[in-house]
Amino acid sequence: MKDILGFKLEDQIIDTQSAAATDLQNPQEIHFDNSKEALEIIRHSTAHLMAEAIKTLYSDAKFFVGPTVEEGFYYDFKTSAKIGEEELSTIEKKMKELAEKGNQITKYTITKQEALKKFENDELKLEVLKKIDSDEIGIYAQGSFEDLCRGPHAPNTKYLRNFKLIRVAGAYLGGDETKEMLTRIYGIAFADKETLKNHITMLEEAKKRDHRKVGHDMGLFAFDEDIGSGMPIWLPAGARLRGKLEKLLYHAHLVRGYEPVRGPEILKSDLWKLSGHYQNYGQNMYFTNIEEAEYGIKPMNCLSHIKIFDSETRGHRELPLKFFEFGVVHRHEKSGVLHGLLRVREFTQDDAHIFCTEAQIKSVIYEVMDFVDSVLKAFDFNYSIEVATKPQKAIGSDEFWDKATLAIKEALDEKGMKYDMDEGGGAFYGPKIDVKITDCIGRKWQCGTIQVDLNLPDRFDISYTDENNQKVRPVMIHRAIIGSFERFIAILTEHFGGEFPFFIAPTQVILIPIGEPHIEFAKKIQKELLKADISVKVFDKNESLAKKIRNAEKERVPLIAVIGDQEVSENKVALRDRREKRQYEMSVDAFIAELVAKNNGVFI
């Protein structure tokens, strides 16, 4: 761990006896900042502070585990008291009180045997102890509260001031659905007040933009328990939006030299055994039987694409060979982690596999990054890149790893793209690039990925013939630009708060005839627009103009065209651009031509 507090954390904080002493003598010495390492300590310590507060308020409370998560922490516990959102402020108040006291946080260790005895009446701590191999068990004490933990912690509760409890949820003991349900409280914590405040503002904004809420309001998608958890249904508006995105991406793939392919949803288990998925990924897969033989429902699309590559003899002139498929995959996700469209059990990847020579790795990466760039730019996303290198458990020669990693770096360098290194974070079969997009409220989302793979070509013994008529193993590059349609649409929905750019807006134009005599003209324009692939509705109900405009606004439609006597007689439309808050007129022909232009070519 880094030296972030002016002294080594391992030396001083983990060994809290001395850390606390240091702290008491020099109270100004420790300054926590918002670095990853410092936040880890603050959040972890705040989780314990929350446990202390809960124990003070509800004396029968028992605690399971309280880890840190992306933005904060949580603690799983149980008590006979009913804990809901209303109790959060009470607990928070008690936490502040305890922090004010400035109790030292001290550590001592006991043997596992002693720990089992100490917690003999606490079935949750016994569960925790079951999972600990070490014979040395750390106990942290603050005031009269003690908790089992490995640490490290802040040396005093007075450092824990900038936190907020945000959510209460149920959580199965150890994530196991067959075990009892515990209460989980989520909190956030930062080093300073300002950062906490900004984060709370961001969370409020995120709540307004929550894709589940916006998706419901706009009729994009839904979930139905009769169908099953994590299996979205796409409502008409959502299916239109998704259809537009698919169409644009499909076309962009063709322009970039990809060939569309398609494999089956289920493939024999023997094939999944050959690929290693059965052994390494089987827990996430669904299986079925056909006439005695076991089949696996695909969680990835790679295998069919390999078989398609291998369906004929391949020569070096064909490479790089790029196959793409909007592949439907199924993965078993635990019900606790399902979250709207962000985490589902069935989704469609914009998946492609590029078969190339080792010498081509660099140019292929260059091309894919250019593709990523044009798609993300079309949606005004900023993004960052991480290059993940050889993990400890890896296959393939060092020579391959060096070459592939260097090719990735060179391709990015030549494009002038900055990237972070994730040393040891690669897949076991090869290095990869992860693309993380930043949405308009500053949240990061992992979407695209490019993975260089020598493992599967080997396992499936595929080859191409080189200039000398020798069989050579190709490199296989797995890549996705948006990741999956489900996840990307969830992110887009939150990024734009439902105000989708024109080219994917589920309804692009709403025509509002003022009265009965204008309906026919409106329908004529609608037909022309539909022919030109524009999503258009006519609001021809017998309602006031004001009401129709209000309803159109609810659909977050970019353009509203009002049609009255003058428009009909002069063959024009009166337009309202909701987003630019602009009103103007246009001839019907110019209007259609403009919309067609706005609709096309955004990714190319």
Q: Which of 149, 302, 356, 447 is catalytic?
A: 302
Q: The dihedral of CA 140, 141, 145, 146: what is its sign?
A: positive
Q: Which of 432, 487, 518, 576 is catalytic?
A: 432
CB 392 → Zn ion: shortest distance, Å?
23
Residue written as token pair 């060096």: 402
Residues contributing to the site for Zn ion (CB under 5 A)? 44, 149, 302, 478
CB 480 → Zn ion: shortest distance, Å?
9
**Active-site residue flag, 353:** yes
CB 484 → Zn ion: shortest distance, Å?
13
- How many CA atoms lie within 13 Å of 467's alpha carbon, on the beta-carbon side? 1
Q: d(Cα 468, Cα 165) in Å, to the nearest integer? A: 67
**Active-site residue flag, 351:** yes
Q: d(Cα 133, Cα 582) in Å, to the nearest integer? A: 67
Q: Which of 12, 104, 142, 349 is catalytic?
A: 349
CB 60 → Zn ion: shortest distance, Å?
22
Region of residue 223 (phi > 0: left; psi between -120 and 50: alpha; otherwise: beta): beta
Among 34, 59, 32, 157, CA closest to 101: 157
**Active-site residue flag, 331:** yes
62 or 212: whose CB is closer to Zn ion? 62
**Active-site residue flag, 349:** yes
**Active-site residue flag, 432:** yes
188 or 302: whose CB is closer to Zn ion? 302
68 or 508: whose CB is closer to Zn ion? 68
- Is 88 strand, coil or helix? helix
302 or 308: whose CB is closer to Zn ion? 302
Beta carbons within 8 Å of 168's beta carbon, 6+ residues apart = 83, 84, 85, 87, 88, 183, 184, 185, 186
Contact 374, 508 (CB under 8 A): no
CB 579 → Zn ion: shortest distance, Å?
39
Among 162, 155, 153, CA closest to 29: 155
Contact 466, 360 (CB under 8 A): no
Contact 173, 61 (CB under 8 A): no
**Active-site residue flag, 302:** yes
453 or 555: whose CB is closer to Zn ion? 453
149 or 481: whose CB is closer to Zn ion? 149
CB 539 → Zn ion: shortest distance, Å?
46
Q: Which of 478, 495, 556, 576 is catalytic?
A: 478
Rg (CA), the chain: 29
Give the largest CA-CA distance in the chain.
92
**Active-site residue flag, 44:** no
Q: d(Cα 442, Cα 452) in Å, to the nearest integer? A: 29
CB 9 → Zn ion: shortest distance, Å?
14
CA 149 to chain centre: 30
62 or 478: whose CB is closer to Zn ion? 478
Q: d(Cα 147, Cα 51) in Å, to the nearest integer? A: 9
Residue length, the chain?
604
Q: Which residues are catalytic?
A: 302, 331, 349, 351, 353, 432, 478
